Structure 1
């Protein structure tokens, strides 16, 4: 019997059980438990089934959220998974790391008076149930086309495109410079947000579907874009953006001033069981240190929370704007605060102090002034407000820019924008090089995983169309001659 919906006036919002801050700060396990079946059905029944589903409108993937909430409330979980996975290649990942408070849940129509439906937790529950029951299948096509596509980058955009194109019958070859599949999913996001077994499980499934991964391959050194063009019908560049933004202040070159991605990668490798040198472990360990993280995005939150788990003596986050204007998830800020992180809002570093090794950060207070071109208020220095924080480890989490791909890939014909991202046709995703497409952060700039998945899926559609049009044109030309 169908469970009644629109129960938000009767049933309160309830998240899955969250481990206490004291307990979870001691390890890298995920902090939320999964829903039990009855809990998931009950929370899904709070959906108002509104006429205009703003949760879906504000989801980059346009996930049909009301329908799979309804099916979950009714206990029809296999159907719920079918609907969920129809628009999302990796719902088990989005259910864990999407900033739902800024996207679907933040725009739920019942949010104002009754707190939103716990969409992300229900999405995670649906997909984990699907894996347990064997409903998640490897991407095997009905027939092979005998055509191959090369994909550069094994992050979310590249994997989403690979999965879609494989289902359509293409032979897929994915090239990546790292030793594991996943990109930032594997080496940029901590286990407490995304257990690496979730990523490794999906990697195995993609391999079972026939997708071939070539790891440890540097484009430009081991193989050129032109060689890939000769091997494949089309090439997709989905490298993401990995070049850390720098801060120009005195002392930035001191020992102990590190990049966020380097810090997170070492932590993730250790959690994966990799053997690293004692020197590397000591350099990137926060144990017993006074840690200062500069930045206010999700990467900064990953760094402060990782530092807590490594046993830092103190962890402080410096951000030049206030909490309301920070780009990261408010849920992540709340979790970090619970775990013992100190936030110095409206503060910016002026210098890193020390002789050879960093010993302190001199910072200055800020106030919000006139809006900048993006509409956000620009931070302005408050004269005479300097203060000093003790620091044995400073982590720069200021965002990421693209690497110089035309030089790195030895492909000068690749045209870039003034931001260094690859320039593509907005409709076809094709770059300035015929048959070479691009998607994800390398086009969009540093963004969310969910947007990378969307871009990868859209690019796959255009690649399929391009290849089929070429084949049709060749056949017509042969017939005419």
Structure 2
């Protein structure tokens, strides 16, 4: 019986794919985890308890049918396992690598709560998807029937790509517009290769292109092409631009040379990995080699920056965060990886100012945790003690805010919230403009890739409903 292959968490211990030694992975931008072999993937999948209420699934933004594809993996039915995973998640090869499973599915695994160690869900997801690519099971999209309606998608990040995939499978004509020269958004230029190698992203882009999705790149809406022109070309439009405006730091000397934005720093590094010419990197401005690097922030972007600086050969790398380790927003797994690679975390520290016309140091205010704020997290309070941290390069990784799209696109009718995100109906993504939808970070604020995929899928469904109703109305006239 199939159940005999499951429920082995009592006799089989939790195991992860082998992690490359820190001294080796400091030298390159390759992913740090090896691959499961099929027997090991089946073994780890067999630890699933197949519980009646799967908390792993309930805490997954795309509501992944995790117990089923774990069972199929344990039984060796790998193509079926991939098909189940793909049905709920357009890009399981991405989420298997970069989801914070420790906070989502794995962090809520029932056997983890019982003390047996969580099922290694993310590693199995990565295995079955990579195996599907290797076996040729991932095919270009071939809709059962083509439809004449077209949809324009602004933004080739995870939300836009998920929507493009979903809409193209329904037979719609899909065009994706993006400001960069490669599609993928933060998957391509924001997330370093040691978490998500770029051939994995480009492989999926090629699959979408082979399936009929058209990409218009180097297209900065509002400059290269107006928003109204895009609306005129399509029956519906989806805005999935993400949020790229960096939160800034105030204080004495904050405009000094050598203080840079995380997005600029990471983009330059990723472009170099593609072999591009990057003048800001080649000049040394965005290269950490030989420098004392200080990264300010405690989220996943900060973790990407500190680990990138290590690989660029920084003399030292420190991460300043105003709360303690237990209250940081970034993945604890990423913190542990960074520490192994040589990053020093300076907890309960906030920048107060900077020294030097070309930055030479950061004035750091020591903090303590006070009463909880409105989110329930204890608020940092200054202690009155200021110390100087030497620095030749300071990276601001304080999060991202939306760009003022109505002004940039000369579209005042596009309503936004008080936070600057696009005002859109919950679930459908319908904006204040007829036939215009929005999804991903530009609606919810800076968040996870898996949430962007979920939003893109949901919005694609709403666009299909909108176009179906429009077609019905036309037929009734």
Q: Partner residue of 1:222?
A: 224
* Alignment of 1:47 onto 2:48: yes
Q: Residues 256 and 358 of structure 1 are in contact (CA less than 8 Å); yes or no, is this contact kept in structure 2?
A: yes
Q: Partner residue of 1:416?
A: 416
Deviations 1:66-92 (A, max 9, x none): 000000001000000010000000000
Q: Residues 266 and 281 of structure 1 are in contact (CA less than 8 Å); yes or no, is this contact kept in structure 2?
A: no
Q: Partner residue of 1:165?
A: 167
Q: Residues 20 and 32 of structure 2 are in contact (CA less than 8 Å); yes or no, is this contact kept in structure 1?
A: yes
The offset of 1:223, in angstroms, is 1.9
* Alignment of 1:368 onto 2:359: no
Q: Residues 269 and 281 of structure 2 are in contact (CA less than 8 Å); yes or no, is this contact kept in structure 1?
A: no
* Alignment of 1:342 onto 2:344: yes
Which whole-Å CA distance do the structure 1 matches of 2:296 and 2:81 have between them?
41
Q: Partner residue of 1:119?
A: 121
Identify if the C-alpha distance between structure 1 residues 441 and 220 changes in structure 2 by more than 3 Å, giving closer, same or farther. Answer: same
Q: Partner residue of 1:447?
A: 447
Which whole-Å CA distance do the structure 1 matches of 2:8 and 2:428 have between them?
43
Deviations 1:381-421 (A, max 9, x none): 012x2111110000000000000000111111100000000
Alignment of 1:322-471 (within 5 A): 322-354=324-356, 356-383=357-384, 385-471=385-471
Which whole-Å CA distance do the structure 1 matches of 2:163 and 2:362 have between them?
44
Q: Partner residue of 2:158?
A: 156
Structure 1 range deviating more: 407-416 or 121-130: 407-416
The offset of 1:375, in angstroms, is 1.7
Which whole-Å CA distance do the structure 2 matches of 1:181 and 1:224 have between them?
20
Identify if the C-alpha distance between structure 1 residues 258 and 147 changes in structure 2 by more than 3 Å, giving closer, same or farther. Answer: same
Q: TM-score, normalised by structure 1?
A: 0.97
The offset of 1:199, in angstroms, is 0.3
Q: Residues 427 and 459 of structure 2 are in contact (CA less than 8 Å); yes or no, is this contact kept in structure 1?
A: no
Which whole-Å CA distance do the structure 2 matches of 1:345 and 1:323 have between them?
7
Which whole-Å CA distance do the structure 1 matches of 2:134 and 2:315 have between them?
41
Find the partner of 1:231 among 233, 237, 240: 233
Q: Partner residue of 1:211?
A: 213
Deviations 1:402-449 (A, max 9, x none): 000001111111000000000011142111111000000000000000
Q: Partner residue of 1:312?
A: 314
The offset of 1:277, in angstroms, is 2.4
Which whole-Å CA distance do the structure 2 matches of 1:386 and 1:21 have between them?
33
Q: Which runs of 5+ in 1 are unaligned?
A: none
Find the partner of 1:246 among 245, 248, 255: 248
Which whole-Å CA distance do the structure 1 matches of 2:233 and 2:449 have between them?
29
Which whole-Å CA distance do the structure 1 matches of 2:238 and 2:111 have between them?
41
For this pair of structures, how many residues does the alignment match? 475
Q: Partner residue of 1:70?
A: 71
Deviations 1:45-66 (A, max 9, x none): 0101111100000000000000
Q: Partner residue of 1:4?
A: 5
Q: Partner residue of 1:147?
A: 149
Q: Residues 289 and 393 of structure 1 are in contact (CA less than 8 Å); yes or no, is this contact kept in structure 2?
A: yes
Identify if the C-alpha distance between structure 1 residues 278 and 444 changes in structure 2 by more than 3 Å, giving closer, same or farther. Answer: closer
Deviations 1:96-132 (A, max 9, x none): 0000000000000111301100000000000001001
The offset of 1:348, in angstroms, is 0.6
Q: Residues 369 and 380 of structure 1 are in contact (CA less than 8 Å); yes or no, is this contact kept in structure 2?
A: yes
- RMSD of aligned alpha carbons: 1.0
The offset of 1:42, in angstroms, is 0.4
Q: Partner residue of 1:133?
A: 135
Which whole-Å CA distance do the structure 1 matches of 2:296 and 2:112 have between them?
32
The offset of 1:280, in angstroms, is 4.6
The offset of 1:316, in angstroms, is 0.4
Which whole-Å CA distance do the structure 1 matches of 2:341 and 2:142 have between them?
44
Q: Residues 268 and 281 of structure 2 are in contact (CA less than 8 Å); yes or no, is this contact kept in structure 1?
A: no
Q: Partner residue of 1:474?
A: 474
Q: TM-score, normalised by structure 2?
A: 0.98
* Alignment of 1:108 onto 2:106: no
Q: Which runs of 5+ in 2 are unaligned?
A: none
* Alignment of 1:264 onto 2:266: yes
Which whole-Å CA distance do the structure 2 matches of 1:28 and 1:367 have between them?
36
Which whole-Å CA distance do the structure 1 matches of 2:7 and 2:348 have between them?
41
The offset of 1:279, in angstroms, is 6.1
Q: Partner residue of 1:21?
A: 22
Which whole-Å CA distance do the structure 2 matches of 1:222 and 1:341 have between them?
41
Deviations 1:187-229 (A, max 9, x none): 0000000000000000000000010000011111122222222
Provide the secondary structure at the position in 1 that maps to 2:352.
strand
Which whole-Å CA distance do the structure 2 matches of 1:86 and 1:258 have between them?
41
